[in-house]
Chains A and B, each alone.
Chain A
């Protein structure tokens, strides 16, 4: 039985693959029509497990980076030396009790304590501890912080906030998380009779968790497409982008030049200026089309990651770049990331956990393989569902 082919980017399964591959159907299942495949994609397992996990890790890292990099200037931006911003705070769209974790009246020790707590929550996201609730709390704390600096917020905050909202609806703990490790240990204990099955009964039915997770994955994908399309089309109207010299200008602006010499070196070459300028617009405008084919999708994601790496390094917009890269990765199939992981393991001989009694291998029947999930659709509300969302991944092991 195919075990992992269903985990993929939030696109409709490409027509170039068989329904069995894309929908995780088994040899005994009938071929599904388009609606059936969509329904199966939505209901029969969680998609983009690696993508949502990477999203969780990078969003958490972004929150930590915001706290760390602004800590020295905290008083002026958010704290005891920021009272001049009060006219803006009075009219803030965030004046709501839910977003009042940070307050303009906080004395500095309290602000420090709250910032440290926010960074701790960011770290908890990175390590995947109680992921869902930690993500929601981090979101509320972050919004509150951004609202406190009305002239200190930009598109980076928009990207981070929106991705945190969608991320809260995903199960981003499927890979590389303490939650996954805890679930694996539970399974192992249950298998050795040290723990009763009922103790891990889920609050909501598995199918509901799958729907919410998968729709959130689609929402993230959709939001990313919208961002690139809007940004690309807006640039396409600009004369400097059209004549291919646009990137030269911010590279020479002081406020976008953490490393001016490096910037000047990069845009000293005519060809490079035009390639970067036209390439930036092209990849954004064409992004939705590039998603339609596996190879162009990989090219697009790699291109966008490279673009954001450049924006982060050369223009100093690191947090924005990190948030966008986090969202871009949602378009990489789990199978691709697993292949990359296998390649790295083969090349580097990385540590690998010995397979446990509950590890399913491709081609074998395991209680958490996608194929078997399909076969157990009618068991949704039985104790057997407790096994389904368990990940036996070693969080310390590479993908």
Chain B
């Protein structure tokens, strides 16, 4: 073997060990096994991997997406309900269809919708009905929080906090779009999440087969005025001129 200075071999060995640790940490982090993830002490590997090496590779797994998820919104304007506006369809038109490199616009609203759906589903059984109830007025968020806390227990705190965060972000976004689309007279907003399954593979050539969309209607919410938000920019994307179709 070639003769080399000791320092070269020591540094080489140390850096190789570092690489081995990196590999071990990555495998443990992604293993999905609590035992493996804590192999270096509870939380050590997670703390090492987050945030720089945070990763998730089970896209389209175990099974791929089998439905289109659409977010629709409507508002109360001067006491009347507007038509539903399909934000997802507007996003597909604006950023995906015939775009070789789609922008992240669709992803932005899809991920928000997905977060909301998941956190609503993760609420304890006794609180499952809360998202469907209406909370209006300036203190709508306080009313919602009170309902969640009254119906939940201490062990539900994480689920309640997550839903509250997702609800706040969702209502803030929807309020901003509603104000941009229907003007300052908007007093309340409501969302509908529509899931439209792709026709099953076995039925792909059956022209008579009708897919059955599933719909989740949240209750009405008071509007959130996001400080200093650029409503003109949102109008340019979701205003009646930019996105004319209502999506029903």
- A contact residues vs B (CB 8 Å cutoff): 29, 32-33, 35-36, 39-40, 42-43, 65, 68-70, 72-73, 75-77, 79-81, 83-88, 91, 93-94, 108, 149, 151-155, 158, 161-162, 165, 207-208, 211-212, 215, 218-219, 222-223, 226-227, 230-231, 234-235, 237-241, 245-250, 252-260, 273, 313, 316, 318-319, 374, 377, 380
Asked, given contacts A93-B51, A151-B115, A162-B55, whether A33 binds B233 with beta carbons under 8 Å apart, the answer is no
Chain B residues closer than 8 Å to A241, beta-carbon distance:
61-64
Q: Output the least CB separation between A222 and chain B (Å).
A: 5
Asked, given contacts A226-B30, A234-B58, A252-B198, whether A73 binds B105 with beta carbons under 8 Å apart, the answer is yes
By the criterion CB–CB under 8 Å, are A316 and B58 in contact?
no
A346 CA to B57 CA, complexed, in Å: 41
By the criterion CB–CB under 8 Å, are A35 and B59 in contact?
no
Taking the complex as formed, is B107 at the interface, i.e. its CB lies under 8 A from any CB of chain A? yes
- B contact residues vs A (CB 8 Å cutoff): 1-2, 4-5, 8-9, 11-12, 15-16, 18-19, 22-23, 26-27, 30, 50-69, 88-89, 92, 94-112, 115, 165-166, 168-169, 172-173, 175-176, 198-199, 201, 204, 224, 226-231, 233-234, 237
Cβ-neighbour of A87 out of B8, B51, B169, B228 (below 8 A): B169
Asked, given contacts A235-B62, A249-B65, A258-B102, whether A36 binds B2 with beta carbons under 8 Å apart, the answer is yes
Chain A residues closer than 8 Å to B15, beta-carbon distance:
211-212, 215
Chain B residues closer than 8 Å to A83, beta-carbon distance:
172, 176, 226-229
By the criterion CB–CB under 8 Å, are B61 and A231 in contact?
yes
Nearest CB to that of A215 among chain B residues?
B19
A93 CA to B53 CA, complexed, in Å: 12
Cβ-neighbour of B64 out of A79, A151, A222, A247 (below 8 A): A247
By the criterion CB–CB under 8 Å, are B103 and A73 in contact?
yes
Cβ-neighbour of B55 out of A151, A158, A374 (below 8 A): A158
Q: Output the least CB separation between A251 and chain B (Å).
A: 9
Chain B residues closer than 8 Å to A248, beta-carbon distance:
198, 201, 204
By the criterion CB–CB under 8 Å, are A230 and B234 in contact?
no
By the criterion CB–CB under 8 Å, are B55 and A246 in contact?
no
By the criterion CB–CB under 8 Å, are A219 and B19 in contact?
yes
Asked, given contacts A151-B115, A162-B55, A234-B58, whether A253 binds B67 with beta carbons under 8 Å apart, the answer is yes
Q: Output the least CB separation between A377 and chain B (Å).
A: 6
Can you spell out 5 A-B residue pairs with CB atoms less than 8 angstroms apart?
A79-B230, A226-B26, A231-B59, A255-B106, A259-B98
Cβ-neighbour of B12 out of A39, A70, A319 (below 8 A): A39
